[in-house]
Copies of this chain bind each other. A is one copy, B any other.
């Protein structure tokens, strides 16, 4: 009989010969098989569970006999009694190779578990978080070798986990000696390794083996909303997602008005900093409650945000961002202590990572989108549009990537719209207008029924119909245009011109009545001429930014459009294109990426190599400054019209060709300028 045996791991297929008696975990490590272990092979953590296979394996050319692994031992027995081990499973650190064997590594025993993103482009995040739990056994102190307890812990981390030169702050040093003694020189530490040449830092310590949880937050700090994902750092699972309005709105709806507030009011920047930090603490508490975990189990936070929010979060006066040359105080990524940002609700030792900014108007949120969507790895020329209160645009492919930001204002989010409201139950989010009868039907958030479906009134009894949100107003305006209620210049026709009583006089202009709840004390929801102008301004800014990037890139079409942000989540690509928000591409080349900035934050949270990668990538993204570029103004003016008189995607809808109405008798032009009219 041979004194070694063949070991085959599935699903990886890795194989090798090992001396009889070799623990399965050791074999896995030597072959580079992805088999987890937190306790370092001491039969404590059970992370290294494997399933041995017995019998014939023709595919692998091997027969596995009984006794190919050592007998079930006392450690496994104890673990099974106390915590339970699924049937057929063994502990990889205890079971030893005694003959040829096929070993399956179940998904939950793989260290680099994969997190599938809920989006059109499925992406995996390799789990390699900057913060992790490590179990160590420390040498006891000895009068004749008088090193400190910390130095012996550091030596143990080096020997057992190859973590060199750790550091710890005073608060940890204070708790070190009791923890080591209570755990009888066995402890678990939470270790943070920033990606730069920073020394690894011990953030926490527990006597004995500590299973967690060890949590992290990925936060997309927007001008209007703050969105957070609470993740388990051991496997990347999202335990809860939660959002909150940014309380800085009271200082100004958009970024520039907040910069103005800081300029006009001494200490105004500090007021805004305090407000956002307080909101973050509230959000942390809420999300931890939702996930039924302690907020103090949160050891790391990754932030993405635009430059103004970036400075206000850090407590830096954003005044320079309000004037050319829009100099950032710092553009690089940041590794900070959470307590330096007054984030007191998380663990006291929690660390913060802020993604790098690209430029004065193109922030860490755009970097996060680039990390998530990877335009720099695309073969196609892709335009990525992230719409929030500010819009960030990326255009490029594996050769070159450009970026700019565009001041769309908050109209796309339902603000500055007469019946506008935030996306909340009762808000109209979808609109269709019959091109013949000019009658609308709609859906509100909180119900799947259309307003002309039976039971709609009943279904919306509690929420009511309260207003119209960002996606609703975009659909409404596009549908109005397609139904001939609005001309290419954006003017709403009168009842005579449009042939419907829903077009009602409103000052010197007209409005279109979407919903009249006044009989039952509800609102009248209308799209006014002012609403259309607001949408026109916003979409022109967005479109002009895209055109500017295309000019700079020297292309007059793009292969692919990725919609991110509020856009990606809620706005119909078809209606966006009807409005002329984005350049025309075939509808199946439009991809919705959801909250790509938030996804980028999650990637950075779960994988520390991605931090180094995006820090490198941002150096190669060329920023185009819209604020000083005369062509931006030109594109902006030219993009004012809503030229799609014909539904550009008849194959997808039911709308047929329509007469090219014009209510604008006074000339005014612009309907055609700068935009190639597309004909069905």
A residues neighboring B (CB under 8 Å): 141-144, 146-151, 165, 169-170, 173-174, 176-177, 197-199, 314-317, 319-320, 324-332, 336, 340-341, 357-360, 362, 623, 625, 628
Contacts and interface: CB of A to CB of B under 8 A. Distances in A.
Contacts of A326: 141, 143, 146
A327 B152 CA distance: 11
A156 to B, nearest CB: 14
A177 B320 contact: yes
Given A149-B330, A177-B329, 14 more contacts: A141-B327, A142-B325, A143-B625, A146-B358, A148-B327, A150-B331, A170-B314, A173-B330, A174-B315, A176-B330, A177-B316, A177-B327, A197-B197, A197-B199
A148 B151 CA distance: 38
13 contacts: A141-B325, A142-B325, A143-B360, A143-B628, A146-B325, A146-B328, A146-B623, A148-B330, A148-B332, A170-B314, A177-B316, A177-B319, A177-B320
Nearest to A316: B174
Contacts of A169: 340
B325 A143 contact: yes
A658 to B, nearest CB: 44
Contacts of A320: 149, 177
Contact of A151 (B317, B324, B331, B628): B331
Contacts of A149: 320, 327-330
Contacts of A147: 328, 331
Nearest to A341: B170
A324 B143 contact: yes
Q: Which 4 A-B pairs have the closest CB atoms?
A: A146-B359, A148-B331, A141-B327, A148-B328
Contacts of A357: 148
A337 to B, nearest CB: 9
A13 B239 CA distance: 72
A549 to B, nearest CB: 15
Contacts of A329: 148-150, 173-174, 176-177
A174 to B, nearest CB: 5
A146 B331 contact: yes
Contacts of A170: 314-316, 336, 340-341
Contacts of A176: 329-330
Contacts of A317: 174, 177
Contact of A173 (B148, B314, B325): B314
Contacts of A328: 146-149
A150 B324 CA distance: 17
Contacts of A151: 330-332
Contacts of A325: 141-143, 146
Contacts of A623: 146
Nearest to A327: B141
Contacts of A319: 177
A370 to B, nearest CB: 15
A165 B198 CA distance: 11
A358 B145 CA distance: 10
A315 B175 CA distance: 10
A409 to B, nearest CB: 22
A354 B357 CA distance: 37
Nearest to A152: B327
A324 B140 CA distance: 12
Contacts of A144: 625
Among A146, A317, A327, A360, residue most surrounded by chain B Cβ atoms (within 10 Å): A146
A597 B332 CA distance: 42
A199 B332 CA distance: 15
Contacts of A143: 324-326, 360, 625, 628
B316 A150 contact: no
Contacts of A148: 327-332, 357
Among A176, A327, A331, residue most surrounded by chain B Cβ atoms (within 10 Å): A327
A253 to B, nearest CB: 25
A314 B358 CA distance: 41
Nearest to A180: B327
Nearest to A362: B146
Nearest to A340: B170
Contacts of A324: 143
Contacts of A336: 170
A263 to B, nearest CB: 13
Contacts of A315: 170, 174
Given A141-B327, A174-B315, A340-B170, A332 B625 contact: no
A144 B357 CA distance: 14
A74 to B, nearest CB: 32
A622 to B, nearest CB: 9
A144 B143 CA distance: 63
Contacts of A330: 148-151, 173, 176
Contacts of A628: 143
Contacts of A173: 314, 316, 329-330
A23 B224 CA distance: 58
A380 B327 CA distance: 63
A168 B195 CA distance: 17
A357 B169 CA distance: 17
A113 B331 CA distance: 39
Nearest to A165: B197
A72 B503 CA distance: 86
A198 B196 CA distance: 11
Nearest to A619: B147
Nearest to A142: B325
Nearest to A335: B167
A325 B325 CA distance: 63
Nearest to A623: B146
Contacts of A314: 170, 173-174
Among A177, A197, A325, A326, residue most surrounded by chain B Cβ atoms (within 10 Å): A177
A630 to B, nearest CB: 14
Nearest to A174: B316
Among A170, A174, A330, A340, residue most surrounded by chain B Cβ atoms (within 10 Å): A330
A336 B316 CA distance: 24
Nearest to A169: B340
Contacts of A340: 169-170
Contacts of A199: 197-198
A362 B143 CA distance: 12
